[in-house]
Amino acid sequence: MDWQGKTAFITGGVSGIGFGVARAFSNAGMQLALSYRNEDYRSEAAKWFEEQGREAPLFVKLDVTDRKRFAAAADEVESYFGKVHVLVNNAGVSVFGPADEATYDDYDWIMGVNFGGNVNGLVSFIPKLKAHGEGGHIVNVASMAAFIAGPQAGIYTASKYAVRGLTECLRYNLAPYNIGVSLCCPGLTKTNAWDSALKRPDKFKDSGLGEVNKAELEKFGGAFDLGMDPLEVGEKILKGMTENRGLILTHPEHGPDIQEIYETTMAALPDEPAPEGRLEIERLRREANRAAAAGSKIGLGDLT
């Protein structure tokens, strides 16, 4: 797709990876609507567009967990631009701590933003992307945590695995409408994502992940300074969209992890023959998936 003149809505689009995506899209000639919560970040983003002599984005104040507001925001974007072609579900929180000590509030907050925010974006925008019939693209920004688990990132990892699974399935569903779907899994990026724990809403204040030590958190945040430039992540997302890639990986240093996951997975398969009936079922499933990826609508009856 030629992205010149197309409209994109990016959640969390005024800072971090979201702002990197916004700049990459603007460089490609796209019209932008950017959601935000922090007024200072909004002002800084607006200043960049002004200094570059670019068309100002439509800034939309939004808590991605607020379904009613998300639906209204989608209507605002469509009304302002006429059509929406691209949705980037980027907003999220990075909060860490031992999952065995987590509370309901920990789960509800992190899953509500990282997975629920994606759901709200999809439900609010997919009908609008389908309606104009011109095709488009959806990018769900997860993390390498969608592949790599760690002892201090249980709920965060669960949220990113959920985004991964939903995105991979949704790619089949939207292929018949010429709407591409990509999962982007960035690694360490130079952002302020490390301070999420300092912005925890009061209604989710009961946490078992441990008391927030601001000094230690800021020290941890120093590692993010070594991360990839968000603009580079945004450029790789744009390239992946243009190539209609289902998976966009941005950081080459995770090669050993992917290799280990592959080898461990293959080694876990039983070394024994499978019955012909089961083999046939799996063959039919693969054929149905390939047909769906090619743009055919698949019903449950096509899977058997």
The catalytic residues are 156
Q: Which residues of 171-193 are buried (b: 16+ CB within 10 A; e: fewer)?
A: bbebbebbbbbbbbbbbbbbbeb
Residue 31: helix, strand or coil by DSSP? strand
Taking the C-alpha atoms of residue 129 and residue 30, their distance in angstroms, rounded to an integer, is 16
Beta-carbon contacts of residue 232 (< 8 Å; ≥ 6 apart): 20, 250
**Side chain identity, residue 300:** L
Residue 179 pairs in a beta bridge with 136
Beta-carbon contacts of residue 91 (< 8 Å; ≥ 6 apart): 11, 12, 18, 35, 64, 113, 117
Q: Which residues of 238-269 are buried (b: 16+ CB within 10 A; e: fewer)?
A: bebbeeebeebbbbeebeeeeeeeeeeeeeee
Structure tokens of 251? 């950081």
Beta-carbon contacts of residue 137 (< 8 Å; ≥ 6 apart): 1, 85, 86, 87, 179, 180, 181, 182, 241, 244
Half-sphere exposure of 124 (CA within 13 A, CB side): 28
Taking the C-alpha atoms of residue 245 and residue 257, their distance in angstroms, rounded to an integer, is 21
| 83: region left, alpha or beta (phi > 0 left; psi from -120 to 50 alpha) | beta
Residues 183, 214 contacting (CB under 8 angstroms): no
How is residue 141 annotated by DSSP? E
**Rg of the chain over all Cα atoms, to the nearest angstrom:** 20
